[in-house]
Amino acid sequence: MAKYVFQSPGKYIQGQGVLASLGEETEKLAKKPLIISDEMVWSITSETITDSFKNVDIDFTYEEFNGEASEAEIDRLSEIGKKNDSDVIIGVGGGKTLDTAKATADNLTTPVIIVPTTASTDAPTSSLSVIYSDEGEFTGYRFYDKNPNLIIIDSAVVVNAPVKLFTAGMSDAMATLVEARAALKSNGENMVGGQPTLASIAIAEKCEETIFKHGQAAYKAASKGIVTPQVDAVIEANTLLSGLGFENGGLAAAHAIHNGFTSLSGDIHHLSHGEKVTYGTLVQLVLENSSDETLNRYIDFYKSIGMPTTLKEMHLEDVAFEDLVKVGKLATDPGDTFANLSDKITPEEIANAILAVSEISEGNK
Protein backbone atom coordinates (compact mmCIF):
# COMPACT_ATOMS: atom_id res chain seq x y z
CA MET A 1 0.00 0.00 0.00
CA ALA A 2 1.33 3.44 -0.93
CA LYS A 3 2.26 5.80 1.88
CA TYR A 4 1.79 9.50 1.15
CA VAL A 5 3.63 11.93 3.41
CA PHE A 6 3.55 15.74 3.60
CA GLN A 7 5.24 17.89 6.21
CA SER A 8 6.03 21.57 6.60
CA PRO A 9 7.49 24.22 8.92
CA GLY A 10 5.54 25.54 11.89
CA LYS A 11 5.28 29.16 10.73
CA TYR A 12 6.42 31.27 7.76
CA ILE A 13 6.62 35.08 7.86
CA GLN A 14 7.60 37.17 4.81
CA GLY A 15 7.50 40.89 4.01
CA GLN A 16 9.32 44.20 4.22
CA GLY A 17 10.61 44.95 7.70
CA VAL A 18 9.68 41.61 9.31
CA LEU A 19 13.23 41.08 10.59
CA ALA A 20 12.37 43.55 13.35
CA SER A 21 9.93 40.98 14.76
CA LEU A 22 12.62 38.32 15.32
CA GLY A 23 12.93 38.99 19.05
CA GLU A 24 9.18 38.96 19.59
CA GLU A 25 8.79 35.71 17.65
CA THR A 26 11.75 34.08 19.40
CA GLU A 27 10.28 34.89 22.82
CA LYS A 28 7.35 32.60 21.98
CA LEU A 29 9.77 29.65 21.69
CA ALA A 30 12.75 30.15 23.99
CA LYS A 31 14.88 32.50 26.09
CA LYS A 32 18.58 31.86 25.31
CA PRO A 33 19.22 32.01 21.57
CA LEU A 34 22.45 31.12 19.79
CA ILE A 35 22.63 33.10 16.56
CA ILE A 36 24.80 31.76 13.73
CA SER A 37 25.74 34.01 10.83
CA ASP A 38 28.73 34.91 8.70
CA GLU A 39 30.61 38.17 9.09
CA MET A 40 29.15 39.91 6.04
CA VAL A 41 25.53 39.02 6.75
CA TRP A 42 25.91 39.98 10.41
CA SER A 43 27.25 43.41 9.45
CA ILE A 44 24.02 43.99 7.53
CA THR A 45 21.51 42.52 9.98
CA SER A 46 23.00 42.85 13.46
CA GLU A 47 21.57 46.26 14.32
CA THR A 48 17.98 45.28 13.50
CA ILE A 49 18.33 41.90 15.21
CA THR A 50 19.97 43.36 18.34
CA ASP A 51 17.22 45.98 18.66
CA SER A 52 14.53 43.31 18.25
CA PHE A 53 15.93 41.37 21.23
CA LYS A 54 16.31 44.50 23.35
CA ASN A 55 12.59 45.07 22.88
CA VAL A 56 11.80 41.77 24.60
CA ASP A 57 14.73 41.84 27.06
CA ILE A 58 16.42 38.67 25.76
CA ASP A 59 20.19 38.24 25.64
CA PHE A 60 21.59 36.18 22.79
CA THR A 61 24.93 34.60 21.96
CA TYR A 62 26.40 35.27 18.52
CA GLU A 63 28.89 32.95 16.83
CA GLU A 64 30.39 33.50 13.39
CA PHE A 65 29.82 30.74 10.83
CA ASN A 66 33.02 29.59 9.13
CA GLY A 67 31.46 29.11 5.69
CA GLU A 68 31.12 25.35 5.25
CA ALA A 69 28.20 23.10 6.27
CA SER A 70 30.52 20.34 7.45
CA GLU A 71 30.27 17.93 10.37
CA ALA A 72 33.29 19.60 11.97
CA GLU A 73 31.61 23.02 11.90
CA ILE A 74 28.32 21.58 13.16
CA ASP A 75 30.13 19.91 16.07
CA ARG A 76 31.99 23.15 16.89
CA LEU A 77 28.79 25.18 17.03
CA SER A 78 27.00 22.46 19.00
CA GLU A 79 29.67 22.68 21.69
CA ILE A 80 29.22 26.45 21.86
CA GLY A 81 25.46 25.95 22.20
CA LYS A 82 25.95 23.47 25.05
CA LYS A 83 28.37 25.80 26.83
CA ASN A 84 25.85 28.65 26.70
CA ASP A 85 22.79 26.51 27.55
CA SER A 86 21.23 27.70 24.32
CA ASP A 87 17.56 26.71 24.02
CA VAL A 88 17.00 27.83 20.41
CA ILE A 89 19.31 28.09 17.40
CA ILE A 90 18.83 30.95 14.93
CA GLY A 91 20.50 30.76 11.53
CA VAL A 92 20.83 34.07 9.67
CA GLY A 93 22.17 34.02 6.11
CA GLY A 94 22.38 31.75 3.09
CA GLY A 95 21.83 28.05 2.48
CA LYS A 96 24.95 26.64 4.15
CA THR A 97 24.49 28.80 7.25
CA LEU A 98 20.87 27.70 7.52
CA ASP A 99 21.66 24.01 6.99
CA THR A 100 24.31 24.26 9.70
CA ALA A 101 21.85 25.92 12.09
CA LYS A 102 19.36 23.09 11.53
CA ALA A 103 21.99 20.45 12.20
CA THR A 104 23.19 22.25 15.34
CA ALA A 105 19.63 22.50 16.66
CA ASP A 106 19.12 18.81 15.96
CA ASN A 107 22.27 17.95 17.92
CA LEU A 108 21.04 20.04 20.86
CA THR A 109 17.35 18.99 20.51
CA THR A 110 16.26 22.63 20.49
CA PRO A 111 13.88 24.58 18.25
CA VAL A 112 15.40 26.26 15.21
CA ILE A 113 14.55 29.60 13.62
CA ILE A 114 15.64 30.23 10.05
CA VAL A 115 16.28 33.78 8.80
CA PRO A 116 17.22 33.73 5.10
CA THR A 117 18.88 36.92 3.90
CA THR A 118 18.62 35.91 0.26
CA ALA A 119 16.02 34.05 -1.79
CA SER A 120 18.80 31.98 -3.34
CA THR A 121 17.78 28.42 -2.39
CA ASP A 122 14.82 26.40 -1.13
CA ALA A 123 16.77 25.18 1.92
CA PRO A 124 15.05 27.35 4.57
CA THR A 125 11.78 25.45 5.01
CA SER A 126 13.07 21.89 4.78
CA SER A 127 13.74 19.23 7.42
CA LEU A 128 17.12 18.34 5.98
CA SER A 129 20.62 19.71 5.55
CA VAL A 130 23.04 19.22 2.70
CA ILE A 131 26.37 18.27 4.24
CA TYR A 132 29.79 18.91 2.69
CA SER A 133 33.34 18.03 3.59
CA ASP A 134 35.56 20.79 5.02
CA GLU A 135 36.89 21.14 1.44
CA GLY A 136 33.39 21.69 0.00
CA GLU A 137 32.65 18.29 -1.58
CA PHE A 138 29.10 16.96 -1.20
CA THR A 139 29.00 14.10 1.31
CA GLY A 140 25.28 13.51 1.81
CA TYR A 141 21.99 14.64 3.28
CA ARG A 142 21.11 14.81 6.95
CA PHE A 143 17.42 14.35 7.76
CA TYR A 144 15.46 15.56 10.78
CA ASP A 145 12.20 14.58 12.44
CA LYS A 146 10.69 18.01 11.96
CA ASN A 147 10.92 21.15 9.87
CA PRO A 148 12.08 24.51 11.27
CA ASN A 149 9.81 26.01 13.88
CA LEU A 150 9.85 29.41 12.21
CA ILE A 151 11.08 31.05 9.01
CA ILE A 152 11.35 34.85 8.84
CA ILE A 153 12.36 36.33 5.47
CA ASP A 154 12.55 40.10 5.09
CA SER A 155 11.90 41.16 1.49
CA ALA A 156 13.81 44.42 1.95
CA VAL A 157 16.91 42.48 3.03
CA VAL A 158 16.56 40.05 0.13
CA VAL A 159 16.52 42.75 -2.56
CA ASN A 160 19.61 44.38 -1.10
CA ALA A 161 21.61 41.20 -1.61
CA PRO A 162 23.33 40.69 -4.97
CA VAL A 163 20.66 40.08 -7.63
CA LYS A 164 22.63 37.02 -8.79
CA LEU A 165 21.49 35.29 -5.61
CA PHE A 166 17.86 36.13 -6.38
CA THR A 167 18.13 34.69 -9.88
CA ALA A 168 19.96 31.63 -8.56
CA GLY A 169 16.99 31.07 -6.28
CA MET A 170 14.65 31.18 -9.25
CA SER A 171 16.79 28.61 -11.01
CA ASP A 172 16.85 26.32 -7.98
CA ALA A 173 13.07 26.63 -7.75
CA MET A 174 12.64 25.87 -11.45
CA ALA A 175 13.90 22.35 -10.74
CA THR A 176 11.06 21.70 -8.29
CA LEU A 177 8.32 20.63 -10.68
CA VAL A 178 10.74 18.94 -13.10
CA GLU A 179 12.02 16.69 -10.31
CA ALA A 180 8.67 16.18 -8.54
CA ARG A 181 7.07 15.01 -11.80
CA ALA A 182 9.88 12.49 -12.27
CA ALA A 183 9.48 11.16 -8.72
CA LEU A 184 5.72 10.85 -9.22
CA LYS A 185 6.13 9.04 -12.54
CA SER A 186 8.66 6.57 -11.15
CA ASN A 187 6.70 5.96 -7.91
CA GLY A 188 9.78 7.29 -6.16
CA GLU A 189 10.08 8.54 -2.61
CA ASN A 190 10.02 12.17 -1.60
CA MET A 191 12.45 13.58 0.96
CA VAL A 192 10.24 12.72 3.96
CA GLY A 193 9.90 8.98 3.42
CA GLY A 194 6.74 8.67 1.39
CA GLN A 195 5.30 9.17 -2.06
CA PRO A 196 4.38 12.64 -3.37
CA THR A 197 0.96 13.93 -2.37
CA LEU A 198 -1.42 15.82 -4.63
CA ALA A 199 -0.68 18.90 -2.52
CA SER A 200 3.05 18.65 -3.17
CA ILE A 201 2.57 18.45 -6.94
CA ALA A 202 0.11 21.37 -6.86
CA ILE A 203 2.64 23.45 -4.91
CA ALA A 204 5.42 22.53 -7.36
CA GLU A 205 3.20 23.53 -10.29
CA LYS A 206 2.39 26.88 -8.65
CA CYS A 207 6.09 27.42 -8.00
CA GLU A 208 7.01 27.06 -11.67
CA GLU A 209 3.97 29.02 -12.85
CA THR A 210 4.88 31.94 -10.57
CA ILE A 211 8.47 32.11 -11.79
CA PHE A 212 7.60 31.95 -15.48
CA LYS A 213 4.83 34.54 -14.92
CA HIS A 214 6.65 37.06 -12.69
CA GLY A 215 10.34 36.20 -12.96
CA GLN A 216 11.29 38.85 -15.50
CA ALA A 217 9.59 41.73 -13.68
CA ALA A 218 10.85 40.54 -10.32
CA TYR A 219 14.41 40.28 -11.62
CA LYS A 220 14.35 43.84 -12.93
CA ALA A 221 12.91 45.26 -9.70
CA ALA A 222 15.21 43.26 -7.41
CA SER A 223 18.25 44.37 -9.43
CA LYS A 224 17.38 47.93 -8.37
CA GLY A 225 16.68 47.01 -4.74
CA ILE A 226 12.94 47.53 -5.12
CA VAL A 227 10.28 45.35 -3.46
CA THR A 228 7.20 44.89 -5.65
CA PRO A 229 4.31 42.38 -5.60
CA GLN A 230 6.20 40.45 -8.29
CA VAL A 231 9.32 40.35 -6.11
CA ASP A 232 7.36 39.08 -3.13
CA ALA A 233 5.69 36.45 -5.32
CA VAL A 234 9.06 35.18 -6.52
CA ILE A 235 10.57 35.25 -3.01
CA GLU A 236 7.70 33.03 -1.90
CA ALA A 237 8.16 30.76 -4.93
CA ASN A 238 11.93 30.49 -4.36
CA THR A 239 11.60 29.84 -0.65
CA LEU A 240 8.25 28.47 0.51
CA LEU A 241 6.75 26.91 -2.62
CA SER A 242 10.02 25.40 -3.79
CA GLY A 243 10.89 24.23 -0.28
CA LEU A 244 7.57 22.48 0.28
CA GLY A 245 7.55 21.25 -3.32
CA PHE A 246 10.98 19.64 -3.37
CA GLU A 247 10.74 18.09 0.07
CA ASN A 248 7.29 16.63 -0.37
CA GLY A 249 7.44 16.12 -4.12
CA GLY A 250 10.94 14.65 -4.21
CA LEU A 251 14.25 15.34 -5.90
CA ALA A 252 15.54 13.51 -8.96
CA ALA A 253 18.38 14.08 -11.44
CA ALA A 254 18.77 17.88 -11.41
CA HIS A 255 20.06 18.04 -7.83
CA ALA A 256 21.94 14.75 -8.11
CA ILE A 257 23.87 16.19 -11.08
CA HIS A 258 24.53 19.35 -9.06
CA ASN A 259 26.02 17.10 -6.40
CA GLY A 260 27.99 15.28 -9.09
CA PHE A 261 29.60 18.55 -10.13
CA THR A 262 31.27 18.72 -6.70
CA SER A 263 33.60 15.93 -7.88
CA LEU A 264 35.27 18.39 -10.25
CA SER A 265 37.95 20.94 -9.46
CA GLY A 266 38.35 24.44 -10.81
CA ASP A 267 36.27 27.56 -11.29
CA ILE A 268 32.94 25.71 -11.36
CA HIS A 269 33.04 25.97 -7.58
CA HIS A 270 32.71 29.74 -7.86
CA LEU A 271 29.17 29.19 -9.12
CA SER A 272 26.20 29.19 -6.77
CA HIS A 273 23.98 26.24 -5.93
CA GLY A 274 21.23 27.60 -8.18
CA GLU A 275 23.55 28.09 -11.12
CA LYS A 276 24.67 24.46 -10.99
CA VAL A 277 21.09 23.26 -10.49
CA THR A 278 20.16 25.21 -13.65
CA TYR A 279 22.46 23.03 -15.68
CA GLY A 280 21.35 19.90 -13.84
CA THR A 281 17.72 20.68 -14.69
CA LEU A 282 18.55 21.00 -18.37
CA VAL A 283 20.47 17.71 -18.26
CA GLN A 284 17.45 16.02 -16.70
CA LEU A 285 15.19 17.43 -19.40
CA VAL A 286 17.53 16.03 -22.07
CA LEU A 287 17.60 12.62 -20.38
CA GLU A 288 13.79 12.67 -20.26
CA ASN A 289 13.70 13.14 -24.04
CA SER A 290 11.91 16.47 -23.66
CA SER A 291 10.64 18.25 -26.76
CA ASP A 292 12.61 21.01 -28.46
CA GLU A 293 9.87 23.43 -27.40
CA THR A 294 10.25 22.50 -23.73
CA LEU A 295 14.04 22.69 -23.77
CA ASN A 296 14.03 26.04 -25.54
CA ARG A 297 11.50 27.47 -23.08
CA TYR A 298 13.73 26.68 -20.12
CA ILE A 299 16.95 27.70 -21.87
CA ASP A 300 15.47 31.04 -22.98
CA PHE A 301 14.28 31.81 -19.47
CA TYR A 302 17.60 30.89 -17.87
CA LYS A 303 19.49 33.02 -20.39
CA SER A 304 17.21 35.98 -19.71
CA ILE A 305 18.18 36.01 -16.02
CA GLY A 306 21.88 35.33 -16.60
CA MET A 307 22.05 31.66 -15.61
CA PRO A 308 24.63 29.30 -17.20
CA THR A 309 23.40 27.08 -20.03
CA THR A 310 26.72 26.20 -21.74
CA LEU A 311 29.86 24.42 -20.62
CA LYS A 312 31.80 27.65 -21.07
CA GLU A 313 29.47 29.45 -18.66
CA MET A 314 29.93 26.56 -16.23
CA HIS A 315 33.73 27.02 -16.52
CA LEU A 316 33.91 23.54 -18.03
CA GLU A 317 34.77 24.33 -21.65
CA ASP A 318 37.96 22.26 -21.43
CA VAL A 319 36.59 19.43 -19.30
CA ALA A 320 37.56 15.89 -20.26
CA PHE A 321 34.83 13.36 -21.02
CA GLU A 322 36.24 11.14 -18.28
CA ASP A 323 35.63 13.92 -15.75
CA LEU A 324 32.01 14.21 -16.87
CA VAL A 325 31.68 10.48 -16.34
CA LYS A 326 32.88 11.09 -12.76
CA VAL A 327 30.05 13.60 -12.40
CA GLY A 328 27.65 10.92 -13.59
CA LYS A 329 29.08 8.34 -11.19
CA LEU A 330 28.64 10.61 -8.17
CA ALA A 331 25.17 11.67 -9.37
CA THR A 332 24.01 8.05 -9.59
CA ASP A 333 25.33 7.10 -6.17
CA PRO A 334 22.63 5.01 -4.44
CA GLY A 335 22.54 7.52 -1.60
CA ASP A 336 21.47 10.34 -3.91
CA THR A 337 18.16 10.97 -5.69
CA PHE A 338 18.92 10.22 -9.35
CA ALA A 339 16.91 6.98 -9.25
CA ASN A 340 13.71 9.06 -8.98
CA LEU A 341 14.33 9.73 -12.68
CA SER A 342 15.68 6.28 -13.56
CA ASP A 343 17.98 3.62 -12.19
CA LYS A 344 18.91 2.52 -15.71
CA ILE A 345 20.77 5.62 -16.92
CA THR A 346 24.55 5.22 -16.94
CA PRO A 347 27.27 7.75 -15.98
CA GLU A 348 28.32 7.80 -19.65
CA GLU A 349 24.80 8.74 -20.73
CA ILE A 350 24.81 11.55 -18.17
CA ALA A 351 28.16 12.77 -19.52
CA ASN A 352 26.71 12.83 -23.04
CA ALA A 353 23.65 14.75 -21.84
CA ILE A 354 25.90 17.33 -20.15
CA LEU A 355 27.63 17.86 -23.50
CA ALA A 356 24.33 17.94 -25.36
CA VAL A 357 22.86 20.71 -23.19
CA SER A 358 25.70 23.01 -24.17
CA GLU A 359 25.31 22.25 -27.87
CA ILE A 360 21.54 22.81 -27.75
CA SER A 361 21.96 26.08 -25.89
CA GLU A 362 24.66 27.38 -28.23
CA GLY A 363 22.42 26.62 -31.17
CA ASN A 364 19.51 28.45 -29.52
CA LYS A 365 20.60 32.01 -30.30
Active site annotation includes 172: yes
Active site annotation includes 323: no
CA distance 200 to 356: 31
**How far, CA to CA in Å, does 249 sit from each of 70, 178, 190, 323?**
26, 10, 5, 31
Catalytic residue among 106, 154, 232, 258: 258
Catalytic residue among 106, 122, 273, 336: 273
Catalytic residue among 99, 172, 232, 336: 172
Catalytic residue among 122, 232, 255, 336: 255
- Amino acid found at 65: F
Active site annotation includes 273: yes
Q: Is the alpha carbon torsion for 356, 358, 363, 365 positive or negative?
A: positive
Active site annotation includes 214: no
CA distance 27 to 217: 37
CA 334 to chain CA mean position, Å:
21
Phi, psi of 151 (to 5 degrees): -120, 130
Please give the positions annotated as active site: 172, 255, 258, 273
